[in-house]
Every structure is written in structure tokens, then in C-alpha cells.
Amino acid sequence: DIQMTQSPYSLSASIGDSVTITCRAGHNIGNYLNWYQQKPGKAPALLIYAASTLQSGVPSRFSGSGSGTDFTLTISSLQAEDFATYYCQQSYITAYTFGQGTRLEIK
Amino acid sequence: QVQLVQSGAEVKKPGASVKVSCRASGYAFTQFGINWVRQARGQGLEWVGWVSGDNGSTYYAQRLQGRVALTTDPSTNTAYMELRSLTSDDTAVYFCARLLRAGWILYFDSWGQGTLVTVSS
């Protein structure tokens, strides 16, 4: 399996701030990297696929970048609804492993 | 629109089995695979396995191999996850998710609402 490591584990920020979450793959995965957002009690929701392609309906303040082993998710101008947990996921091989998650909290 | 609706919460004793269903609508069921993901309380997402929507091919997480079985019934557009020899470590919310392929890129674009499986004596 390919191990996915996110940092930080948790993050505090204020509305209007910009934040960046990092995801590192234990193997070169090209751009086979997806990002999901999960709110308490809800299923995850796709934000970004192929490292940088925004899913339809996702606000443009979300952006993703990277390739190979290092990836980032950036949220600019945080809104109240963005406070949630974020997961990266590799789809390079069929054991579609997730990062451990980054919890974004309101400061 | 694409919808995945899962069966209700289950309470099982250690050593028992559980079977969770995921009924799909709004798309051609046989053209997409279904993945299962679980999440223990307060923990992250753990991929359980994948089942093809057309020919029933499967791929399982190594740590669950031998205890999990994923199947589909195309006549009812339903996918199933059966987990055997349950222990308290299997207590979690189980999600199904559709696997979408865009060229060589794969991602989970639609998710079920989740099914809580509790294993307790």
C-alpha cells in the first residue's frame, strides 16, 4: 500500500485567512491525488481530483497543486462553511489509501 | 442525480457477520465500480475495498482480506458489503462511494450517507 501523510494534523485559522494543507505520498503517484472535505456527521465530499482539478460546484477559493510525492491544498479567504476535516487520497493503485486527515478549526 | 442510499444501523455481537447494502440510482449501475470506506468514531477514513459494477471483480484492503466480501446485484442496482468474524475494532461508520474514471484519473464522486455498525457483547 502507498502511505499518505498529511500535515498539520490540525489547524486553527480565522475567517478570511488563507491556509495550506500538505500531503506527502510514500511513492511517486504522478497526479493521482484527490482531496475531500468532511463535516461532522456527514459523508466526505470531493473537492479536487487529479491534484488540481476543481470538482464541479466547488468554490474557486479552493485550489490544489503538486505532483509526484508532494501536494498541497490551499483555501484562500476562509469562509465559515470551510471549517471541516480534509483528507487527501491517492488513486495511483487500487488500494486507495487516505491521509490521516487535517482538522481545520475556527480560531 | 446520482444517489447512493445505504441500509440502516446494525448492532452485532463479536464473532458475528454483518451485511450492509448500498442502493444506487441516477446512473447506469454497471458502468461504475463501488468502493467501501469505513471510519471509526473520531478517526480517519480507511479504504475497505472495491467491486466492479459489471463483472463483480473485487479488490480488498490487505488487513481485511479473508473477512470481507463485496458483491453486487445489477438487477436491483445494489452493492453489498459483508464483514465476518466481527470484533470491537470493526465498530465504525461504513460508507459506499461511486468510483468515477476520467481518463486515467479515478476518484470517488458520490457517497452514501453511511451505516453505523456497532460490535458489542
A42-73 pLDDT, tens per residue? Answer: 999 999 999 999 999 999 999 999 999 999 99
pLDDT in tens, B15-51: 999 999 999 999 999 999 999 999 999 999 999 999 9
Q: What 3-state DSSP class applies to B109?
A: strand
Instruction: Determine the pLDDT at residue B102.
Output: 82
The shortest C-alpha distance from B87 to chain A (Å) reads: 22
pLDDT of residue B92: 98
Helix (H) or strand (E) holding A79: none
B83-108 mean pLDDT: 95
Which chain A residues have a beta carbon less than 8 Å from that of B45?
Answer: 36, 38, 44, 87, 89, 98, 101
Average pLDDT over residues A84-101: 96
Residue A11 in this model has a pLDDT that exceeds 90: yes
What's the pLDDT at A33? 97
Indicate whether B103 pLDDT > 90.
no
- Residue B104 pLDDT class (50, 70, 90 cuts): confident
Q: Which residues in B lie closer than 8 A to residue A49 (C-beta atoms)? A: 102, 105, 107
**What are A66's strand-pairing partners?**
A71
Yes or no, beta carbons of B62 and A1 under 8 Å apart: yes
Contact B44, B92 (CB under 8 A): no
Q: Of A12, A93, A65, A87, nearest to B39 (Cα)?
A: A87
Distance from CA of A29 to the nearest CA of B (A): 11
Give the dihedral of Cα atoms B75, B78, B79, B82; nearest 10 deg. Answer: -100
Contact B45 A98 (CB under 8 A): yes
- Chain B positions contacting chain A at CB under 8 Å are 35, 37, 44-47, 50, 59, 61-62, 95, 97, 102, 104-109, 111-114
Option in B61, B62, B113 nearest A43 (CB): B113
Per the prediction, chain A carries an average pLDDT of 97
Nearest-angstrom CA–CA distance, B37 and B81: 10
Give residues with Cβ within 8 angstroms of B26, minimum separation 6: B1, B2, B3
Helix (H, G, I), strand (E, B) or coil at B31: helix
C-alpha cell at A76: 484562500
Which residues sit opposite B23 in a β-bridge? Answer: B5, B78
Does residue A102 sit at the B interface (CB-CB below 8 Å)? no
- pLDDT score of A37 more than 90: yes
> Mean per-residue pLDDT for B106-113?
96
Please give the DSSP secondary-structure letter assigned to residue A98. Answer: B
Distances (CA, A) of B96 to A65, B29, B78, B84, B92: 27, 13, 11, 18, 13
Q: How far apart are CA B79 and CA B69, in angstroms?
A: 11
Q: With contacts defined as CB-CB under 8 Å, which chain A residues touch B37?
A: 44, 98
